A and B are shown apart, each in its own frame.
Chain A
Amino acid sequence: MPESTFSSEAAATLPGAVPSVAPVRAPLPPPAPPPLGAPPPDVPPIADGPAEPVGAERLAGRVVGDQIYRWTVTFFAACIPILLVLLAIEVVAAGWPALRQFGPHFLVSTDWDPVAGQFGAGPAIFGTVVTSLVALVIATPLALGVAVFISELAPGWLRTPLGFLVDLLAAVPSVVYGLWGVFVLVPLLREHVMPFIQRDLHLGNFPLFTGAPYGPSLFAAGVILAVMVLPYISSVSREVLLVVPRSQREAALALGATRWETIRGAVVPYAKSGIIGGIILGLGRALGETMAVTMVIGNRQAITASLFKPGYTMASLIANEFSEASGDLHLSALMAVGVVLFAITLLVNAVARWLVWRVSRAPGARAA
């Protein structure tokens, strides 16, 4: 209503709106409407809401605003795939010279001789796989134990704090684990655990545990990795266990199963693929952990059967040699190791996520 003085402006943009507005203050000028007399019947359809006069401009602004809003957030969302693609391109570009020179041989070769210009990632890949497996062997039962304990057994007052404490393990920075590993864990392993395994358990001749117990070793790295991946496995497991429908438990208990039988027979199988996803997620973390491992693994290019000997992982190799890389090929070889690490973790993560998703989107998941 009050806009009538500026009706000419409105007329320029939206002609249909003019006649409805103009007549209100029309008394002074001679009656203009006659030539445009026809429109009035058109007016009602324009009004989109209860307030007729504000409609046109506001509506147009709203549509534009919504479009801008939509495209802005879409742009931000698109940043994530773009970032991943850019990441892949940059990492591969960094490692390309070495990858081209050594080809697939790079993956299996055990030569790592910067002076001779020979590079092979064999020992690093081996060490990565071995330490991650050791970590999973140690961490999985513990993590599942915690997860089941929290979701099935713990009294209500204990659940939140206990879960939080386990989650805090994931918040401890890698370098702090490394520091602790160097000064506390490695001496402990060297003086007590390793001799205990070799002497008291009489496993000194078993291939996995041969050699003098120096301390810095694949084993030490595995133990520290176990502590580091435990919270990831346990929090994913906890999440999928929470999704298991209550009726599943009640049915088992009603049939006379004990608590343990309920857990083993009814709860865990239901969440199985999610739990496996959590374990694989832990594996992904273990594969890529850098600082703590670099500090306790001993950093030696060798493939050994014994866990008590020093080794290398891909991440620790890159971290350790980067600052003293001699020449472009050496640098590129380190980056090529990064490419391998990138590819492996990408694959492992994708598989893990897919497994976890399958469970948490199963029927009943929403109800949680």
Chain B
Amino acid sequence: MTAAAFPASGAPPRPASPRPAPPRRARAGAALKHRRTVTNAVMLGLLGAAALVAVLPLAFILFYLFKAGFSSINLAFFTHGPAPVGETGGGMGNAIVGTLVLVGMACVVGLPVGVGAGIYLAEFRGGRLATAVRFLSDVLNGLPSIVIGIFAWSLFVRPVHHFSALSGGVALGAMMIPLVTRTTEELIRTVPNALREAALALGYPRWRTSLTIVLRTALPGIATGALVAIARIAGETAPLLFTAFGNQFWSFSPTQPIAAMPLQIFNYAISPYDEWHAQAWAGALVLLLLIFFLSVAARLATRTRYGAGGD
């Protein structure tokens, strides 16, 4: 490779050249250069192609969701519960409410712990506990959601032999924690140190500096992180199989099984009925649009506030 970089220095005594350049040519260097240029062009083209191919599935999925789901979206879809098998119409109203209830419970569990742990990581960053927590929250983040479902099932459902919305909320909350923790930490770190120092210098105690100056500055970003976490858990299905379990009827009780959009989509998708398939597509479209909306909103909010470069 280094040899290739000096084509000027006479070609013949260079057996080290990786692929045999045509020896008949007097100026092998030119050939080599040509080959390198071609390789360069080809590889750069492939990289661009990879980028294109990677984005295709997204377009593909969105296209089919709109094509198959858009026609089933109407007012009834948002206000009615499921229709009996064989009847057209009906909707996912109960599942939409169920998802909101579950997400709300998850926030109650996940936000305080996540934000608190994030503050700890940002403010006491150097310690051994901080390093361990940072590492473990990354590991927790990578755990399969179904394992977290088993955990919530074993903790809440098995002892009472009863599926419940609460257990689903806790499972989702546990999934939120690492996400919220890491975004909180990162955003608190973007708060300029000068602000902190100024507050301390004015005689503010540390906790007030942290809560009223630093946290308040980082708050929009933390809210953004929470949005991203919500977007992520709103679509989770696996942990709900063991916990919230799904419900064909309207339910608001934390101790009863509750419907959720992803569960409903799953049940409809594996059912043999065409009307239910249509409902599943519509549900998927609504869910995906909701999640994309949250993601885009979160992204735009952070970008305008902190600039594209981060810290």
Interface of A toward B, CB cutoff 8 Å: 49, 61-62, 65-66, 68-70, 72-81, 83-84, 86-87, 90-91, 93-94, 141-146, 148-150, 152-154, 160, 162, 164-169, 171-180, 182-184, 227, 230, 234, 255-261, 263-265, 281, 284-285, 287-291, 295, 315, 318-319, 322-323, 335, 338, 341-342, 345-346, 348-350, 352-353, 357
Contacts and interface: CB of A to CB of B under 8 A. Distances in A.
A154 B51 contact: yes
Given A79-B113, A81-B132, A175-B262, A341 B146 contact: yes
B154 A174 contact: no
Given A154-B51, A179-B281, A180-B64, A80 B137 contact: yes
Given A175-B266, A290-B237, A79 B146 contact: no
A320 B200 CA distance: 57
B266 A166 contact: no
Interface string B42-62: 011011111101110110110
B270 A93 contact: no
Interface of B: 1-2, 4-6, 36-37, 39-40, 43-44, 46-51, 53-55, 57-58, 60-61, 64-65, 68, 112-113, 115-117, 119-121, 123-124, 129-130, 132-133, 135-140, 142-148, 150-151, 153-155, 158, 174, 177-178, 181, 203, 205-208, 210-211, 231-232, 234-238, 241-242, 262, 265-266, 269-270, 277, 280-281, 284, 287-288, 291-292, 295, 299, 303, 308
A257 B291 CA distance: 44
Contacts of A172: 58, 61, 235, 288, 291
A341 B147 contact: yes
Contacts of A149: 47-48, 50-51
A162 B119 contact: no
Contact of A87 (B47, B151, B238): B151
24 contacts: A74-B124, A76-B120, A77-B133, A83-B177, A87-B148, A94-B153, A145-B54, A146-B54, A149-B51, A162-B55, A165-B55, A168-B295, A169-B54, A171-B232, A173-B288, A173-B291, A175-B235, A176-B284, A178-B269, A179-B280, A180-B65, A259-B40, A295-B269, A346-B139
A175 B148 contact: no
A116 B9 CA distance: 78
Contacts of A146: 50-51, 54
B5 A259 contact: no
Contacts of B115: 76
Contacts of A73: 116-117, 119-120, 123-124
Contacts of B151: 86-87, 90-91
Given A77-B121, A353-B142, 20 more contacts: A73-B124, A81-B136, A84-B139, A87-B148, A143-B54, A160-B303, A168-B295, A172-B291, A173-B235, A178-B269, A180-B60, A258-B37, A260-B40, A261-B36, A287-B144, A319-B146, A319-B238, A335-B154, A349-B139, A357-B135
B147 A77 contact: no
A328 B237 CA distance: 24
A173 B154 CA distance: 24
Contacts of A349: 138-139, 142-143
Contacts of A291: 237-238, 262, 266
A153 B119 contact: no
B158 A94 contact: yes
A145 B143 contact: no
Contact of B207 (A68, A141, A166, A353): A68
